[in-house]
């Protein structure tokens, strides 16, 4: 069980063969690494399944290796997205092993991946989140990392201080850890070191990210959206070839905007950002870092409150309308995305 989807294992993966699994997408959501929040967003899961399948099928057509196998129709049969008329909520995928780094003496030890590189070909998740940034909307982590000195303009390929809302001439390719209790941004040389990647594998990862980014950007443009940034996850298949896994192109993996209006999970983040709960979350994370503790949630003694019904309804319609418009298919009975976003602006102004 994850924070937003459940994994059903049909066949376990081994070091030599991929397994078979099914993602059951739920209406749960998560912000600020909290995990499951106290309420659900109606039809969010089906919308994520639709958009994820849509982009996997696009990527497969242009030769990108993915773990996607299809969606399940109402009778539980595996098929392609264009063969279903009602919104699916289950996706079948190939499975690889998830091998976690050891946490010892307040640090993560990634030496297991060096051993895998030398003794086995692959069939495991690469312990990184790979991120592209086409623009720097308000709330982008880039501003915080520049301010606290953890990254420099040169690290991001920038010549001068960026401003919120700025478009980038060339995308920034960013990277963070994936299998830690709290994922952290790292530089590419550190990413290469901890995942035990060769130079050619790093280049292939960046090339794959570039193609995924271009594909999502082109599709978003067709429906009037700007693809600001997004993330992908990758694995090595049994031949140690790069494979796109998890899901791509959804409102949880990407940050889209329409005339600077957020069209993503960022709407929920913005809602909680000014709450007392978020303040306690930040304090707990800082304390965990100081004390070298793995689980920062143990230090947070406040629970998030539910969103109000009107905002939940708006967010639900944002997900459903986006799924309809990207696929050009009426999976959901919901207003056009532009109308939903107008309602969101009115809600914010109240």
Q: What is the pLDDT of residue 329?
A: 96
Counting residues of the chain whose pLDDT is more than 70, the rounded percentage is: 99
Among residues 127, 128, 157, 129, the alpha carbon closest in space to that of 142 is found at 157
Q: How confident is the model at residue 119 (pLDDT cuts 50, 70, 90)?
A: confident
CA 272 – CA 184 distance, rounded (Å): 21
CA 194 – CA 172 distance, rounded (Å): 21
- Per-chain mean pLDDT for the chain: 93
Instruction: Give start and end residues of each alpha helix (H) in 262-308.
Output: 266-273, 276-291
CA 210 – CA 171 distance, rounded (Å): 9
Question: What is the mean pLDDT of the segment spanning 308-316?
Answer: 96
Write the CB contacts of 219 (distance below 8 Å, at least 6 apart in sequence): 55, 58, 249, 326
pLDDT digits (tens, 9 = 90+) for 151-171: 899 989 898 999 988 899 999
Pairing of strands 226-236, 78-79: unpaired
pLDDT at residue 182 tops 90: no
pLDDT at residue 105 tops 90: no
Question: What is the mean pLDDT of the segment spanning 17-34?
Answer: 95
Q: How confident is the model at residue 260 (pLDDT cuts 50, 70, 90)?
A: confident
Write the CB contacts of 29 (distance below 8 Å, at least 6 apart in sequence): 3, 4, 36, 37, 40, 41, 44, 252, 265, 268
Q: What is the pLDDT of residue 89?
A: 97
Among residues 245, 231, 248, the alpha carbon closest in space to that of 94 is found at 245
Pairing of strands 90-95, 226-236: unpaired
Question: What is the mean pLDDT of the segment spanning 281-305?
Answer: 89
Token reading at 85? 């008329």
Estimate to the nearest angstrom the gap between the alpha carbon of 14 and the chain centroid.
25
Total Cβ atoms within 10 A of residue 228: 27
Q: What is the pLDDT of residue 137?
A: 80
pLDDT at residue 1 tops 80: no
Question: What is the mean pLDDT of the segment spanning 173-179?
Answer: 96
Number of residues assigned to the chain: 350
Q: Just give the CATH number of 5-273+308-349.
A: 3.30.470.20
Total Cβ atoms within 10 A of residue 206: 15
pLDDT at residue 350 tops 90: no
What DSSP character marks residue 264?
S
The region of weakest confidence among 37-41, 223-227, 290-294 is 290-294
pLDDT at residue 45 tops 70: yes
The region of weakest confidence among 29-38, 44-53, 285-294 is 285-294
What DSSP character marks residue 297?
G
Give the containing element (helix H, strand E) for 339: helix 337-349
């Amino acid at each position: 069980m994850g924070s937003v989807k459940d994994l059903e294992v049909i066949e376990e993966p081994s070091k030599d063969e991929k397994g078979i699994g099914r993602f059951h997408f739920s209406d749960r959501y998560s912000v600020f690494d909290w995990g499951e929040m106290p309420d659900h967003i109606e039809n969010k899961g089906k919308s994520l399944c639709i958009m994820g399948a849509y982009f996997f099928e696009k990527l497969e057509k242009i030769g990108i290796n993915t773990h996607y196998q299809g969606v399940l129709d109402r009778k539980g049969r595996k098929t392609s997205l264009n063969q279903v008329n009602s919104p699916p909520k289950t996706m079948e995928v190939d499975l690889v092993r998830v091998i976690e780094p050891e946490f010892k003496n307040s640090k993560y030890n990634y030496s297991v991946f060096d051993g895998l590189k030398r003794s086995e070909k692959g069939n495991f998740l690469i312990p990184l989140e790979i991120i592209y940034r086409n623009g720097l909307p308000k709330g982008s982590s880039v501003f915080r990392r520049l301010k606290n000195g953890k990254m420099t303009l040169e690290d991001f390929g920038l010549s001068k201080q960026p401003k919120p809302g700025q478009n980038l001439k060339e995308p920034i390719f960013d990277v963070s850890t994936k299998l830690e209790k709290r994922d952290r941004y790292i530089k590419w040389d550190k990413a290469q070191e901890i995942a035990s990647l060769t130079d050619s594998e790093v280049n292939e990862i960046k090339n794959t990210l570039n193609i995924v980014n271009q594909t999502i950007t082109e599709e978003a443009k067709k429906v009037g959206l700007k693809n600001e940034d997004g993330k992908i996850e990758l694995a090595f298949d049994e031949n140690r070839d790069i494979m796109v896994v998890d899901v791509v192109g959804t409102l949880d993996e990407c940050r889209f905007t329409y005339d600077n209006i957020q069209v993503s999970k960022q709407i929920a983040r913005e809602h909680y950002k000014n709450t007392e709960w978020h303040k306690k979350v930040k304090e707990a994370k800082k304390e965990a870092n100081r004390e070298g503790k793995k689980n920062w949630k143990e230090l947070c003694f406040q629970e998030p409150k539910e969103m109000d019904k009107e905002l939940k309804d708006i967010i639900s319609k944002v997900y459903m309308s986006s799924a309809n418009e990207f696929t050009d298919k009426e999976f959901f009975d919901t207003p056009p995305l532009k109308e939903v976003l107008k309602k969101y602006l009115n809600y914010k102004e109240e």
